[in-house]
Amino acid sequence: MRLRVAFAVLLALMSSTSWAADLPAAFTNDARILFQGDSITHGGRGLNQADHNHIIGHSYVFLIAGRFGADHPEQNLTFINRGISGETVPRLEKRWQADTLDLKPDLLSVLIGVNDNAVNVPLEQYEQTYDRLLTDAKTANPKLKLVLGEPFTLESRKPADPAVWQKWKDGVDQRREVVASLAKKHGAALVKYQPMFDKACERAPAAYWIWDGVHPTYAGNQLMADEWLRTVRDFWKN
Amino acid sequence: MRLRVAFAVLLALMSSTSWAADLPAAFTNDARILFQGDSITHGGRGLNQADHNHIIGHSYVFLIAGRFGADHPEQNLTFINRGISGETVPRLEKRWQADTLDLKPDLLSVLIGVNDNAVNVPLEQYEQTYDRLLTDAKTANPKLKLVLGEPFTLESRKPADPAVWQKWKDGVDQRREVVASLAKKHGAALVKYQPMFDKACERAPAAYWIWDGVHPTYAGNQLMADEWLRTVRDFWKN
């Protein structure tokens, strides 16, 4: 009987107001959680760090920061966004010290590759430079938790030239393979955004999730936040 | 026994990956959900509507739009942000036709008052103009669902002059009373942000939620989204 009551209470809780979330084990006390990447991560954030109004941007980073910042203030988590629009791995390398190592993250999440694909950074350079950045980050903090996001794309509109689209898509797939291999090498959690977005297209058209082939909508950003969290929970079960 | 299994499954679900949310009854099929207000709503969104990257901003609006856009694509909901930084009620009146009525919302959420308090828009003018805007919106769509947010403030830092702070705080409280009275008059749901933020200060210092007395942090924006949702669920039980 008491079980029945508890069951009813649980059901009421689940169908009620909150969309609160349990703390992932990876979000330890006082953790500094840093997101690096390109425009997808950037999300229009202001670059003036003194202006706290625009410090986090409107990407999946804000969705994660807001949820866990609100639900677990006692953890004293700090979420930091350092995504920059248009960023490639070679460009990221130039600010790696100031914008990653100097910020002393406990968890570092990186999502980069679509611009490297767009401007044809050679695949080998992409891999070697990215590899070096991750090695440097782990050298600076051997206990660093690493999260790597797969580059992704969707055919949001019928392409003008299918051959151009296919070349672009193949290029993104190649970068994905590199990222998967780097994740394995560095013991990083790998967020598989591409199959997630592919699957979402069974629920709504591609443009509902990614409006221009590259940049997620508000709904697409939430999918990213959810998949990021799912991956982090799975990886660091503790 | 089957109940025990279901109970275990429910517990597992609750403590697992998702922070998905049930659809509020107010979010009907194809609903257009419009947020109006000042910088708190604006959240750094771009003003170029063709640029979908920056269309929603990084305020509580994005948190609501992302969550329900991702979880319920089949509902075909449209979330629109028309908050403008620095906005007062007299300024809002000038763009009410283009930025509210012409957008034909099914649900209209308004949060405005702190700038009126800062620049001393007389309380009577604030009330009468605000009242007229709401009347016009309901005339344009008699089935309109209205949500009004209380203006709010927190003492994020020890004030240089306590008397100045007290005058500011008293002014915000007066605007809150006006909004509560307008909500009652127009059959609107009233989101009580002030007591929510006051209560949150038992969990973390004021500056954790509102960094400068007026503008919420990412954690504060999530509190707002949660309270907004709780209020909307309670009001439109259907």
pLDDT in tens, A124-139: 999 999 999 999 999 9
The CB density around residue A174, as the number of other CB atoms within 10 Å, is: 16
For the cut 90, the answer to whether the pLDDT of residue A49 exceeds it is no
- Cα gap B233→B130, rounded to integer Å: 24
Q: Which residues of A touch B73 (CB under 8 A)?
A: 200, 203-204, 208, 219
Distance from CA of B46 to the nearest CA of A (A): 8
Closest CA to B216 of B201, B235, B232: B201
- Residue ranges per structural domain of chain A: 26-235
Beta bridge mates, A80: A34
For the cut 60, the answer to whether the pLDDT of residue A15 exceeds it is no
Q: Can you give the pLDDT at residue B19?
A: 74
Question: Which whole number is the average pLDDT over A53-82?
Answer: 95
Inter-chain CB pairs, A–B, below 8 Å: 157
Specify the pTM: 0.92
For A48-99, give the DSSP string: -TT-GGGSS-SSHHHHHHHHHHHH-GGG--EEEE---TT--HHHHHHTHHHH
Token pair 């749901």 in the structure block, residue: B189
Closest CA to B226 of B191, B188, B176: B191
Residues 6+ apart with CB under 8 A from A149: A37, A109, A110, A111, A179, A191, A193, A224, A228
Question: Which whole number is the average pLDDT over A51-56?
Answer: 86
For the cut 60, the answer to whether the pLDDT of residue A154 exceeds it is yes
Question: In A, residues 165-194, which contact B (CB 8 Å cutoff)?
Answer: none
Cβ of residue B164 closer than 8 Å to a chain A Cβ: no
- Cα gap A34→A28, rounded to integer Å: 14
Q: Which residues of A touch B20 (CB under 8 A)?
A: 19, 226
CATH 3.40.50.1110 matches A26-235: yes
Of A14, A17, A52, the CB nearest to B217: A52
Whole-number average pLDDT of chain A: 93
> Under an 8 A CB cutoff, do B229 and A22 touch?
no
Find, in chain A, the residue whose alpha carbon is nearest to that of B212: A52
For B156-220, give the DSSP string: -S--SSHHHHHHHHHHHHHHHHHHHHHHHHHT-EEE-HHHHHHHHTTTS-HHHHBSSSSSB-HHH
Q: What is the ipTM of this complex?
A: 0.91
Cβ of residue B41 closer than 8 Å to a chain A Cβ: no
Q: Which of A3-7, A32-36, A155-159, B49-53 has the lowest mean pLDDT?
A: A3-7
Q: Which of A178-187, A227-236, B47-56, B229-238 has the lowest mean pLDDT?
A: B47-56
For the cut 60, the answer to whether the pLDDT of residue A102 exceeds it is yes
Q: Which residues of A touch B208 (CB under 8 A)?
A: 73
Q: What are phi and psi of A81, to 5 degrees?
A: -110, 125
- Cα gap B65→B163, rounded to integer Å: 39
Residue A21: band (very low, low, confident or very high) from pLDDT cuts 50, 70, 90: confident
Cβ of residue A43 closer than 8 Å to a chain B Cβ: yes
Residue of A19, A40, A212 to mutate, interface with B, max B Cβ within 10 Å: A19
| Per-position pLDDT tens, chain B of length 238 | 566 666 555 554 554 446 788 899 999 999 999 999 999 999 989 888 888 888 899 999 999 999 999 999 999 999 999 999 999 999 999 999 999 999 999 999 999 999 999 999 999 999 999 999 999 999 999 999 999 999 999 999 999 999 999 999 999 999 999 999 999 999 999 999 999 999 999 999 999 999 999 999 999 999 999 999 999 999 999 6
> Under an 8 A CB cutoff, do B226 and A45 touch?
no
> Under an 8 A CB cutoff, do A218 and B79 touch?
yes
For the cut 60, the answer to whether the pLDDT of residue A14 exceeds it is no
Q: Can you give the pLDDT at residue B16?
A: 43
Find, in chain B, the residue whose alpha carbon is nearest to that of A50: B211
Identity of the residue numbered B226: D
